[in-house]
Amino acid sequence: MLYSLISLGLTLTAVTGVLAKTSYDGAQAVRVAVGDDVVPLMKIIDKLSLASWKGVGPNGVPRANGNVDLVVPAKKVAEFTALVDGMEFEVMHEDLGASISAEEEESVSFKSSAAAAVDVTYFNAYHAYADHLTFLRDLQAQYPTRSEIVTAGNSNGGRPITGIHFYGTAAGKPAVVLHGNVHAREWITGMTTEYLAWYLLTNYASSSEVKSFVDKYDFYIFPIVNPDGFVYTQTNDRLWRKNRQTTPNSSCIGRDVNRNWPFQWAVTGGASTDPCNETFKGRAAGDATENVGLRNYISTLAAKQKVQLFIDIHSYSQLFMTPYGYSCSALATNNAALQSLARGTASAIQAVYGTVYEYGPICSTIYQATGSSVDWVNDIAKAKYTFTIELRDTGRYGFILPPAQILPTALETYQGFRYLLLNMVL
């Protein structure tokens, strides 16, 4: 199916900035090395009210002995440069607005020559939300006897949280569940999640190995579980993270859907209680509209057929992580098996292009994160294996990963996914 003018128009609008409310023209994305003393950088972040991509906790404290990735608005670049004099830092995006425009323009160029929504050329470009829905529907229509379109409730804005369920010879087997684009700006996650579905379905008839995977498990793949936020990244703010839900008595919008799951939600330190913060946990556990639908859907699967594997797909950092996020000392009861699988997955990914992934529990590997999907799915839904992956890269491009890296990211991720499917024990 050819891409519609409406869908293409959405992308072109993002390129031209006609509807954009947030401009990153002249802004910089920078990485600052942090030593033992985090106070000097914390003071700079507070003074300039800088947004962070990674390395800063919900309390505004940078992580010691690591790197902090920050967005510096154009009007604050000179002051920031003066303030960090003497600190080790590098500029990742000299002009963030130009990088965003290049990302969009390259996608439009790729799309203009794409022939079909279910062809591999789909993965040469990022797409408007309508195109993602078309992709799923066209993919399901191509394999109607072993797949179906499913929804896990609606977003806060009323958009169905749409996925594809496929199952081989018969439905009702242990479930493999994947979530993409939980955080709106992480565009590579939806594309990679769709590639995994596309590869398994299109190779079912020709590969005995793929057939064995799909005949063994039911796959439930949801490429964009935060559709309101995702659409907002294309029309208003490319770097938006949260959903688009309002909070009483606050002008700030959005909850972090991955800090809202009702397990260890109240633990301090792993999320923010400030509605203006990007890791805002919500007013109550599980009160994000999207969380309600996702939680109910997984609960139903767990009761009917059990969840064998759950992966929450994020970017960026190149990490493959296990429970828990809420605590750096607690470990899952099957931690030894999880670490073994994580190690093998990281090795399988690296074998493709040499891309190095670190692995380990969320809290000790990246940072404390309370109310996370992986912790809830592990302990409440009782999935046998639960993981969070942070896809490419480690910061050169960050959230603005060029379209040319979509397919390589998807290819190497499939090999890690394949390792899990080959080595998990039912």
Domains annotated on the chain, with CATH: 28-94 (3.30.70.340), 114-236+270-423 (3.40.630.10)
How many other CB atoms sit within 10 Å of the CB of residue 364? 15
3-class DSSP state for residue 265? coil
**How far is residue 126 from each of residues 90, 107, 187, 336, 401, measured CA to CA in Å?**
27, 6, 7, 37, 10
Tens digit of each residue's pLDDT (9 = 90 or more) over 351-397: 999 999 999 999 999 999 999 999 999 999 999 999 999 999 999 99
What contacts 24+ positions apart, CB below 8 Å, involve 273-277?
Answer: 275/247, 275/250, 276/250, 276/252, 277/58
Q: Checking phi first, is residue 411 left (phi over 0); if not, alpha (psi -120 to 50) or beta?
A: alpha
Helices (H) and strands (E) in the chain, counts: 13, 12
* DSSP code per residue over 33-98: E--S--HHHHHHHHHHT-EEEESB-TTSPBPTTSEEEEEE-GGGHHHHHHHTTTS-EEEEESSHHH
**Residues 258 and 369 sit within 8 Å (Cβ to Cβ):** yes
- Regions in the chain scoring below 70 on pLDDT: 1-20, 113-116
Q: Which helix (H) or strand (E) holds 136?
A: helix 129-142
**Residues 401 and 317 sit within 8 Å (Cβ to Cβ):** no
Catalytic option among 103, 194, 390, 412: 390
| Per-residue tokens: 384 | 């046998």
**Residues 30 and 17 sit within 8 Å (Cβ to Cβ):** no
| Per-residue tokens: 208 | 């005995």
Rg over alpha carbons for the chain, rounded to the nearest Å, is 21
What pLDDT does 113 receive?
A: 63
CA distance 308 to 424: 9
What pLDDT does 59 receive?
A: 81
3-class DSSP state for residue 381? coil
| Per-residue tokens: 316 | 């960026």
Strand partners, 62: 56
CA distance 386 to 412: 19
Burial of 45 (0-12, 13-18, 19+ CB in 10 A): buried
Torsions phi, psi for 177 (to 5 deg): -120, 130
What pLDDT does 63 receive?
A: 86
CA distance 164 to 73: 40
**How big is the chain, counted in residues?**
426
390 labelled catalytic: yes
CA distance 154 to 372: 20
Single-letter amino acid, residue 273: T
**Residues 55 and 129 sit within 8 Å (Cβ to Cβ):** no
**Residues 386 and 320 sit within 8 Å (Cβ to Cβ):** no
Q: Which residues of 395-411 are buried (b: 16+ CB within 10 A; e: fewer)?
A: bebbbbbbbeebbebbb
Sign of CA dihedral 89, 95, 98, 104: positive
